Structure 1
């Protein structure tokens, strides 16, 4: 029975990333809000392919009590309930400074229903309006005159429910260069699993969410007991199958259980079994024909059983014959080596 319940190993289909914002793709100034204006500044850098990219840097450790905010523009969330923010940045080693410094910065976010929905001005307005999403620390640091690696970090932002959101980056005394910011959400891809079709689905509001999604049986298939259901996991993979589909009578599923195809020769097989008589209507066999058909099948089954028993007895006889031949072959060398009695005396008398 072609039940898709047994196909949980197919739930590893690749997740889809829907990008909402990527500063590496920006061709004009980002014009993000820097508060105070002496903190973060937008700069232009060149990547390894000699493409101009927009970056933001801050390095004000000489003055104590730093609190520098960088706020992005409005980002429409689309279907996203949870957004991932990928960051690329460099960080200068605090040991190269005499004054106290940090090798971390923080990521914040604020939801909004429209582009014009903004927070109160100033640092105090940002502090009150924005929620902290995560703290980002550097694993790779550099000093002047020496190279340093690029750090990468991912911060989850959510759950989200309004039309869009803004990101904010807070510096408390680091020397860092924010090379790129990429915001995206994940979707479970469209899939056909176990004769059931599932649509593209945005993941739930948390990384560990399991979002139930109902499926529909493919053409030529029907539900079995309960409707097919899969769960869209937070990483964008289909998980935990439930329910089932199977092919309708007169159809068969392919090996991958992604389609049911009509059995083209089922009418000819029925006619051959019934002696070439066609069915009385297009919907199938009549009751009398079904009884005759079942009787023929029963007779064929009995005949096959008798043939199987005969073959079994024949196999036993062949096995006994092989055992006898093997015993003879084992004794044959000894018989050939034995000489007839009196052969030596006759030779001496000549």
Structure 2
């Protein structure tokens, strides 16, 4: 706890002699004061110490603190407010009415106290010396502290008073600390039309607000908001005044809204454009251009205006196909190798191929697959064993093509089996010398009712060798001679499977 210290510098004095701390008093009051008034704040009587000897020095340390100065705010103009208050102190005769300003002429003016300005402290310390100059006897005089407000609009004051007794000795140097304790509070009083504020002032407004003693809080003017430290300026766009996706722009101390497409008005509050009538039944409308719009449908809906139920919503066809919307239902278009309403089955898992045959997915097959049989079986499920027949073809020409020249005669067999005509083709190759037979034997998995045998000759070779013609063709099937043989002429090279544009005649 800091105390006032008395340092004796007299060489004949005893340093152990100290001033006596008699009492520490405090005066506290908050008043609501208006500009243009003559307001006073007067402390109650402060009794002098009864042991104060004649000629003793009584230093008073007075601290004046102020919570706020209304001149810093917009409530009053600077011409209406004074920037100071006046401090008075002195003896008051017994019976002086502290609430009567006319009785304050007994106090002495001490000094003007400049009120707070930006960067200045919130309190002022003043030292005032009172000298006990009265006669010996009972102590009846009292000391009072008074503050006069000539119209400074100060809204809160805090007055603290402390004193010590300094004995009348020579060579005394007094040093005061920067702070001192307060005890024994003494309540002051407001006079001259001012009144106590309730609740007491607790907060200081910035220059963009004013204090409201009625509700004990800072009231900010338009365009400012209240924070823990006072009123701070706000952006007109901070409250997001533009509706429906509009963009707020600060302009000339206010704001302007740039509206999204399809909205008008000062704050974009009015709808306009093709989306105004909500054409999207189950979706969100988005305007495009001046008159166009697009609908973004909710899940489960489709169509230009989101008015058609999407039966494919949530249906992925097992990941093996794609969904097709139909009237009140859907269907799955399966990938090759999958079947079922939702393409959930592998076609070859359901297929049966016998005798070592393997399943091959085939979109053209009735069941979506076919069986690839081994060389000894055939049929849809490889149930039919293949029969093999031996074909022997002998060819004899009227003259030789040329010594050492290999020539070819194409033979096509057509066999009727199971109601279908099947063909097999092979070659008879040799020099075809006059009078000689060139023979080839083929064993083929082609048995059944032999329908036709064709010998294919290339026309350009016949023209090249004059008078070249087939002299004899003999065909046997499993040692059975076939009598009915056709000779066919082609204008171009014969290609397997090419049975058109040919001229055939019975040999």
TM range, smaller chain: 0.3 to 0.5
Please say which structure displays the higher CA radius of gyration: 2
TM-score, with normalisation over the residues of structure 2? 0.26
Select the structure that is richer in strand: 2
Structure with greater proportional helix content: 1
Per chain length, whose mean CA-contact separation is higher, i.e. which structure has more relative contact order (CA < 8 Å, sep 6+)? Answer: 1
State the TM-score, normalizing by the size of structure 1.
0.35
